[in-house]
């Protein structure tokens, strides 16, 4: 069958557009029969993905970063007949700045190797998350994490993962905080919060915000906590690069749990994101749910 490749030219500050000729050559060399659609505005990937499914293309391939993957998945879900219908097959040509999900799934970042994975067409069903009415494939969050994204979007002079680090320091110096009520499958929390991260994958923006998340275990991973001082937050920051022992979730005031459903109410609105894409408005109520093994991912 013919694949539909959906290109987000803006990913990685237009770098994906510059790299598209290389990606195109790699797909052709791997023998992938495909048609291309290019997003021309924010959010259009959702529409393009929905239409590609309705037109019978398979697989659907996202060429972009983590935000692009999230948009495409929402388009696949729109085309589905129910919340239980499997989605995909779904492939990735990694053209983003961090490519967090690609890392978590063990996919190659080399475009020639990525094209070979798509050509082979081997799939494995993975979980899919949802915040309120929006699906996410990798990560979502409230508090400091999306607050950092608001800073990240304002930084134009730094590229790659370094931009996320500078944005994080900038956000920490503002020291935003909330009072929250949280409930999950078998637990609850009420108290001050600096950050809330909900992961299907382990990494976001180069940081291991939910270091023990597994996109194939049928659960979301919730990491949350409070640090009372800027120094405490800055001390935690380098530990967020640790995916194993020594992670920031081991620090005092930090927690990590696994659950199928998570409900959060904050005392005041917070920025929110799914797969790095900010919600248009700050919100106070978050309802998370996992859809086990719903997305058929093309993997090595």
| CATH annotation of 139-293 | 2.60.200.40
In 3-state terms, what secondary structure has residue 78? helix
What 8-state DSSP symbol labels residue 242?
-
Residue among 276, 4, 281 at smallest CA distance from 161? 276
Q: Are strands 60-64 and 87-94 parallel, antiparallel or unpaired?
A: parallel
The per-residue pLDDT for range 97-151, each reduced to its tens digit, is 889 999 999 999 999 999 999 999 999 999 999 999 999 999 999 999 999 989 9
| 207 Cβ neighbours under 8 A, 6+ residues apart | 164, 168, 240, 241
Phi, psi of 157 (to 5 degrees): -95, 0
The pLDDT tens digits of the residues spanning 162-172 come to 888 899 999 99
Query: For 22-50, how does the pLDDT look when each residue is reduced to its tens digit (9 = 90+)?
Result: 999 999 999 999 999 999 998 899 999 99
For the whole prediction, is pTM greater than 0.85? yes
Task: Quick: pLDDT tens for 75-91.
Answer: 999 999 999 999 999 99
Q: Tokens 């309120």 correspond to what residue?
A: 132
The pLDDT value recorded for residue 277 is: 93
Q: What is the DSSP letter of 280?
A: S
CB distance 101 to 65 below 8 Å: no
Q: Cα angle at 140 between 113 and 296, to 5 degrees?
A: 45
Cβ-proximal residues to 204 (8 Å cutoff; 6+ apart), any chain: 66, 98, 100, 138, 139, 141, 145, 197, 276
Q: Indicate the DSSP class of residue 250.
A: G
pLDDT in tens, 194-246: 999 999 999 998 899 999 999 999 999 999 999 999 999 999 999 999 998 99
Q: Where are the domains of the chain?
A: 3-121, 139-293
Tell me what pLDDT residue 147 has.
Answer: 96
- 139-293: same fold as 3-121? no
Looking up tokens 């109520």 gives 285
Cis amide bond preceding 89, omega within 30: yes
Superfamily of domain 3-121: Probable inorganic polyphosphate/atp-NAD kinase; domain 1 (3.40.50.10330)
Q: What is the pLDDT of residue 13?
A: 65
CB-CB contact of 60 with 31 (8 Å):
no
């Amino acid at each position: 069958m013919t694949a539909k490749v959906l290109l987000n030219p803006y990913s990685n500050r237009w770098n994906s557009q510059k790299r598209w000729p290389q990606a195109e050559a790699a797909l052709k060399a791997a023998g992938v029969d495909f048609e291309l659609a290019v997003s021309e505005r924010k959010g259009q990937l959702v529409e393009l993905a929905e239409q590609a499914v309705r037109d019978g293309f398979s697989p659907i391939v996202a060429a972009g970063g983590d935000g692009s993957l999230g948009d495409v998945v929402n388009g696949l879900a729109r085309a589905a007949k129910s919340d239980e219908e499997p989605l995909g097959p779904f492939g990735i040509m990694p053209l983003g700045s961090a490519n967090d999900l690609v890392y978590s799934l063990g996919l190659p970042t080399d475009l020639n190797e990525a094209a070979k994975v798509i050509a082979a067409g081997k799939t494995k069903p993975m979980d899919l998350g949802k915040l309120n009415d929006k699906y996410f494939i990798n990560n979502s969050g409230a508090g400091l994490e999306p607050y950092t994204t608001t800073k990240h979007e304002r930084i134009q002079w730094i590229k790659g993962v370094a931009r996320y680090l500078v944005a994080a320091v900038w956000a920490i110096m503002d020291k935003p905080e909330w009072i929250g009520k949280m409930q999950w499958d078998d637990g609850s929390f009420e108290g001050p919060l600096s950050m809330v991260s909900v992961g299907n994958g382990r990494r976001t923006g180069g940081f291991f915000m939910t270091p023990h998340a597994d996109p194939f275990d049928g659960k979301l991973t919730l990491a949350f906590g409070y640090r009372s001082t800027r120094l405490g937050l800055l001390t935690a920051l380098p530990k967020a690069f640790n995916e194993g022992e020594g992670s920031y979730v081991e620090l005092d005031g930090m927690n990590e749990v696994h659950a199928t459903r998570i409900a959060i109410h904050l005392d005041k609105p917070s920025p929110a994101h799914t797969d790095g894409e900010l919600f248009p408005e700050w919100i106070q109520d978050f309802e998370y749910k996992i859809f086990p093994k719903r997305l058929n991912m093309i993997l090595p």
